[in-house]
Amino acid sequence: MALKATIFKAHLSISDMDRNYYAEHDLTLARHPSENNQRMMLRLLAFIFNASEQLSFTKGLSDVDVPDLWQKNLHDGIELWIELGQPSATRIKKGCNQAKQMKIYSYADSAFNLWWQKEQGPLLLRTNLEVVSIAAELAESLASVVERQMDLQCTISEGQLWLTVNEQSIEVTPQVLSRNSQ
């Protein structure tokens, strides 16, 4: 018998001063049996940093043909393709070719650092790709606040995120390693 996804509900109140985006989002996150809380929270961070009414989670780990998150336009064209971790060159090529913009989010652990050392040359040549790393030590802090029902207050200013969950505050400062030129 196959294991089922675990369902989490998150209410986000986002104040993104950098993009002048202020909205509330009620999200349902299905955590795949092979996904841990750290990865699920990385998906949530990617959503927060790119929040829009059109941004949505996909089947992710359950479907190898789609990214973890994407934003489509009214004509079903892909505006934004978001991958987590260290995607293969094939995945990166697919995302960059199918979307106007692609972003990769990962925790800056030793596996990511090795991947970045190996791949940064070709990745820096892609004009519609942005690679963002999150401090590895934040993975446990973020995982520790996971509950089946979460209420998150998110404030973004000058690239920094202040996340308040269950009266615990976590500061997230992403490092942009490769910024697209579009």
pLDDT of residue 1: 56
Which amino acid is located at 125 in the chain? L
- The predicted model scores a pTM of 0.93
Check the CA dihedral 47-129-96-137 and report its sign.
Answer: negative
State whether residue 11 is helix, strand or coil. Answer: strand
pLDDT digits (tens, 9 = 90+) for 52-61: 999 999 876 5
Residue 63: the pLDDT is 60
Q: Tokens standing for 180?
A: 């697209």
What burial letters (b/e) apply to 21-59, b meaning 16+ CB within 10 Å?
Answer: eeeebebebbbbeebebbbbbbbbbbbbbbbeeebebee
Distance CA(145)–CA(97), nearest Å, equals 36
**Residue percentage of the chain with pLDDT more than 90:** 76
Domain ranges of the chain: 6-178
CA dist 32 → 24, 37, 137 (Å): 25, 10, 23
- What pLDDT shows up at residue 181? 52
| Identity of residue 44 | L
pLDDT of 182 higher than 70: no
Contact (CB, 8 A) for 46 and 133? no
Q: Which of 135, 181, 148 is nearest to 28 (CA)?
A: 148
Encode pLDDT of 7-20 as tens digits. Answer: 999 999 999 999 99
| pLDDT tens digits along 97-124 | 999 999 999 999 999 999 999 998 888 8
- Fold for the domain defined by 6-178: Restriction endonuclease-like alpha-beta roll fold (3.10.640)
Provide the β-strand partners of residue 30: 7
